Amino acid sequence: MFTKKKNGKRYRYYCNQTLAEDKLHPDKTRSRLPSHEIESFVERAVRDNIATLANEDDGVVLDHLLANHNNIPTYDLVRSCVKRVIVNFDFLTVKFNPEPFKKLVERYLNVSVNESAEPFEINIPFQTLRSRDTSIIIRPGKIDIFDMTPEDKKRLVQGIVWRDEHFNGTYISDIAKRENCSSRYIRNRIMGSFEFLN
């Protein structure tokens, strides 16, 4: 999926269809995730599974593959060996097709590997956070409150408190007036609390 900014630059996204179709979902902002970060996760997943793709348990061939797999261009490796990527709520499912890996190894590394492995899939957990300019940042793993900056912890606590107030009947505009900030800021903090707690 593509979007075009005012400066004419195009940005690519992966889309979570479930969230995209639900206009009222509190995590609607997570329906589109920046492609660069997702593709970096996928490349790492492929390179972390070289032994499985090669269907090799140990020995000099596997040692050679592990030491030299960076000589296989990322584009060829991912395009050939990744059958599908599914963007779930807080993890990616990467489905592999190992069959083309044998030819890639012969072409770029001049070695032969065993017969192709069976197709397999892995799940990669990720977390989404918001940067200061409100763009989405994707990080590997689950969100850990102990890894958050003091500023992010403050925003999280604000979001949880204001969310509870809002759900108990207080208007966002009234919270914004009391806190001397914009309704948009209150809304963003509330949305951010949903992102963390889910």
Residues 77 and 173 placed together within one structural domain of the fold: no
- What's the pLDDT at 21? 64
* Chain CA centroid to CA 190, Å: 22
Higher pLDDT, 121 or 126: 121
Contact 32, 14 (CB under 8 A): yes
The number of folded domains in the chain is: 2
Residues 155 and 71 placed together within one structural domain of the fold: no
Query: Which pLDDT tens digit goes with each residue over 60-104?
Result: 888 999 999 999 999 999 999 999 888 777 788 899 999 999 999
Domain extent at residue 188: 145-197
pTM comes to 0.59
- What's the pLDDT at 17? 63
Is 140 inside a domain boundary?
A: no
50-58's contacts with Cβ under 8 Å and 24+ in sequence apart are: 52/96, 52/98, 52/117, 52/120, 53/81, 53/96, 53/98, 53/101, 53/117, 54/98, 54/101, 54/105, 54/113, 54/114, 54/117, 55/98, 55/113, 55/114, 55/115, 55/116, 55/117, 56/113, 56/114
